[in-house]
Amino acid sequence: MKIEFVAPGSVSGSLALPVFADAEFSAVAAAADETAGGALRRAIEASRFDGKPGQTLEVLAPAGLDAPRVVLFGLGAKDKADSGVIEKAAAAVTGKVLLSGETAITLRLDGVTDAEGAARAGLGARLASYRFDDYRTKLTADKRPSLETVVIAADDTAAASAAWESWGAVAAGVDLARDVTNLPPNVLHPETYAKKIEGLAEHGLEIEILDEAKMSELGMDMLLAVGQGSDKESHIAIMKWSGGPEGEKPLLFVGKGLTFDSGGISLKPGAGMDEMKGDMGGSAAVVGLMRALAGRKAKVNAIGIVGLVENMPDGNAQRPGDIVTSMSGQTVEILNTDAEGRLVLGDVLWYSQGRFDPKLIIDLATLTGAMLIALGNTRAGIFSNDDDIATQLSAAGDASGEPVWRMPLGADYEKHIETKNADIRNVGEGRLAGSISAAEFLKCFVNDKPWCHIDIAGTAMGGMKDDPRQPSWGTGWGVRILDRFVRDNYEG
């Protein structure tokens, strides 16, 4: 979808007009209503639209206006209509007309918001327009998107266009994250995923791929054990962006990339197993973030690293009861082969923090079903050994529309991964504190570096279905919060 910015005087065609709480017209909506002889006000009075955030009301061919279609959209209280509210409202408008037969619509944001808000409206429109129709060969025309362009009327088009360069890159990163999450596992497996990541070099990222021979040489037996039941070779993909001062320590982002998780010998139930193609949502967020940072030429040094593995049952698959040795030298008793993501992350965390000596580490993973029980699909859980990182991520989550909630860590939970047979075990005590014990496991591999683990089991797939910015099963969750985290705290 194209996003364009125009001066108010050049507006034409179908219109989207902002309305505040209690059906208070914005200046542009009031002027349009006057031209239409009060038709817009009468439409409001005949409906339940009252200007709440996210509400829309469509008025077709209102008399007196050249516009073939007017969409009124709510912004809520005037003093609270910030860029986040405008972003979500633009997404609601886009979703409203995406399949309508309309090819272009203009959002009148002049006199309502600044250039940043106008650019965020573009982000909302792009997020709402996403579709994954690659394998739908029989869609009829009325089920295909017709909307091609969202035009945004802004007071300062030059500034809005400049701001859009940055937010457009974020949209591209989210699109990429959604694409790889939605792809079927026979198409996206560790080898093809690594190839796709190599293609990001065209955006200025330095890419390095580690194969199984190199991982074996490094002693990553914990990660390799997860993939040994699959005929697809495991890989690690490293993405480097050097946009900050030379020699400055990088930010490190680590993602779990289980391109399919059958559970291994501890086989998952058949119902819903197809959704385990999305068990690489953490890696999708990291890949999308690195695409966004490169696309907007972020003034930061950053490393993205993802472990790409397939977990399958096979005569060579690891077994419950096995003991494996991690790259760190710590031994791990495998009590459940479906608790595999932490094994992949553990070796990647140890390797990457040792090699790159980062300023901080953030890992993302669809790690535990227990996270869904705790927080549902609304928030991701964060676990951190650093209060500043946790505070910054919480603020970034609220600002980006990808909220998080901090969960506890501590000595009283470390006992959950103790075992008499090895240094640690890969699952906790039954169903108790499952997400926390998984985070405690990961903490064993970060060497007290400033670190945060984000469990996105509830947000990477399905997500917040009432948010028009999330139209896709694969949500791309994580790109926006991490980009906001970087731009608000770590760019010069």
Q: Which helix (H) or strand (E) holds 352?
A: helix 341-356
Structure confidence by residue, pLDDT tens digits, 318-354: 999 999 999 999 999 999 999 999 999 999 999 999 9
Domain regions of the chain by residue span: 2-155, 185-489
Q: How far apart are CA 339 and CA 261, in angstroms?
A: 10
380: which strand partners?
A: 404
In contact, 375 and 405? CB cutoff 8 Å? yes
Alpha-carbon distances, residue 79 vs 21, 28, 72, 114, 203 (angstroms): 10, 17, 19, 14, 39
Structure confidence by residue, pLDDT tens digits, 224-249: 999 999 999 999 999 999 999 999 99
- Joined together, the tokens standing for residue 241 give 């962006």
379 part of the active site:
no
342 part of the active site:
yes
In contact, 122 and 155? CB cutoff 8 Å? no
Q: How far apart are CA 481 and CA 303, in angstroms?
A: 16
Q: Which residues contact 121 (CB under 8 A, 6 or more apart)?
A: 86, 87, 89, 90, 107, 109, 113, 152
Residue 478 burial (CB count, 10 A): 31
- Half-sphere exposure of residue 131, counting CA atoms within 13 Å on the CB side? 17
Q: Which residues contact 405 (CB under 8 A, 6 or more apart)?
A: 375, 379, 380, 381, 382
What class, spelled out in words, does domain 2-155 have in CATH?
A: alpha beta
Alpha-carbon distances, residue 331 vs 29, 284, 443 (angstroms): 66, 29, 15
Phi, psi angle pair for 153, to nearest 5°? -85, 120
pLDDT beneath 50: ranges in the chain: none
- Joined together, the tokens standing for residue 63 give 């008399």
Q: What integer pLDDT is reported at residue 463 of this predicted model?
A: 73
Q: What integer pLDDT is reported at residue 492 of this predicted model?
A: 75
Q: Which residues contact 131 (CB under 8 A, 6 or more apart)?
A: 145, 471, 472
Q: What integer pLDDT is reported at residue 12 of this predicted model?
A: 85
Task: Tell me the three state secondary structure of residue 65.
Answer: coil
Q: What integer pLDDT is reported at residue 139 of this predicted model?
A: 95
DSSP readout, 294-318? HHTT-SSEEEEEEEEEEE---TTS-
Q: Please check whether the two domains, 2-155 and 185-489, share a CATH topology.
A: no
Q: What integer pLDDT is reported at residue 125 of this predicted model?
A: 98
Residues 156-173, buried b or exposed e (16+ Cβ, 10 A)?
Answer: ebebbbebbebbbbbbbb
Running DSSP on this structure, what letter comes out for residue 330?
-
Sign of the Cα pseudo-torsion (205, 211, 214, 220, in order): positive
Q: What integer pLDDT is reported at residue 465 of this predicted model?
A: 79
CATH code of the region 185-489: 3.40.630.10
Q: Which of 41, 42, 196, 268 is catalytic?
A: 268
Q: Which of 256, 342, 443, 469 is catalytic?
A: 342
Among 145, 67, 48, CA closest to 107? 67
